[in-house]
Homo-oligomer: A and B are copies of this chain.
């Protein structure tokens, strides 16, 4: 028999020390979001393959781990040329399952439903540093609220969570980038692009911070877009300037291009959030923010750490998606916390003092000790535990020094050897 000791490629075994950090962060996430009235829910790891390959997941659909049919169904599928061998797949995000969940359980849920989901997702991505094939996602979503109250709740809740976690290692400066897909579209329309080309244009715009405005121009021209439109478009994104307001950026746009309420609403979201977030948290209108998923319909947002080169949270409004499952109009807005990235950041610090909980005692019983001694030791342990202490009872190993060292590194400060 061939046993393989390593975990499946791209997936992780978590050691006790790593788990203490993960559990500590999860506890803070759950408690903070609960204080905002988000209700935790859970869906299965597996989804019907039909739901996963329905074109909602973009690029992620290529990365699905498919689960094979079984028994007679598999046999039938194998007989057919090009028969579908999978009936299920592992979820690649928590948004598709949430939409299905709402369609399935909506009648038991409140008219405005605030959901917290914490769960693993799977993507058969090329594994690389910090990118795994199984990883934990933390999403909050508000369903049934078409107003900006949803955006304000999501942004204040998420910045509060991030602040409470990251301030433990003295990281307090981060930036919330806000934009709106409708503004992105209005700008593309204003420049003269055709609607069917918007997504291609946005994908190129998304690279602005890497390739600069001249790079964007070049890439658009290379893709064969009209010079006039490209010129008009790139002109908009020149001289953006720190702290430009949405109103100022959009001043060229008439009502033909955009509903003024969109601009006013976005400014109000920013005003309201800015007055509430902790010191160190900045909110900026970022007209270059694109967000990959095509299902977004309104506001989009992303949080970056000022001294790190990546985002730690992202989300937006997606008013059309849930309706595809239940054939009703259901407004929705969500924010996803980059749990694994947060853990990666925290792992660069010594967090053992943060995750430690109270006094830890170890009783090490010598192998020659009598049954009476064993009994007495267990009673003493029980009493200490009753008083809130962590106590472990175990035999004293031959290599006692190594055993004690390991216990000490695991936070045991009170180690007692029991011989009789």
Contacts and interface: CB of A to CB of B under 8 A. Distances in A.
Interface string A27-59: 000100011110111111111101100110000
A105 B13 CA distance: 8
Interface string A362-373: 100101000100
Contacts of A124: 70
A177 interface: no
A325 interface: yes
Interface stretch (A220-228, A344-352, A386-394): A386-394
Contact of A65 (B46, B374, B392): B46
A391 B35 contact: yes
B390 A272 contact: no
A173 to B, nearest CB: 20
A368 to B, nearest CB: 11
Given A41-B14, A65-B46, A378 B156 contact: yes
Contact of A48 (B8, B12, B153, B156): B8
A104 B7 CA distance: 8
Interface of A is mostly: mixed
Interface stretch (A197-205, A244-252, A295-303, A402-410): A402-410
A262 interface: no
Given A145-B394, A392-B36, A11 B134 contact: no
Contact of A15 (B47, B108, B144): B108
Interface stretch (A83-91, A188-196, A279-287, A334-342): A83-91
Nearest to A326: B5
21 contacts: A1-B324, A3-B103, A4-B51, A5-B325, A5-B326, A7-B43, A13-B41, A14-B41, A16-B40, A19-B39, A37-B391, A68-B68, A70-B124, A85-B85, A110-B406, A111-B399, A111-B406, A147-B395, A271-B371, A272-B375, A276-B378
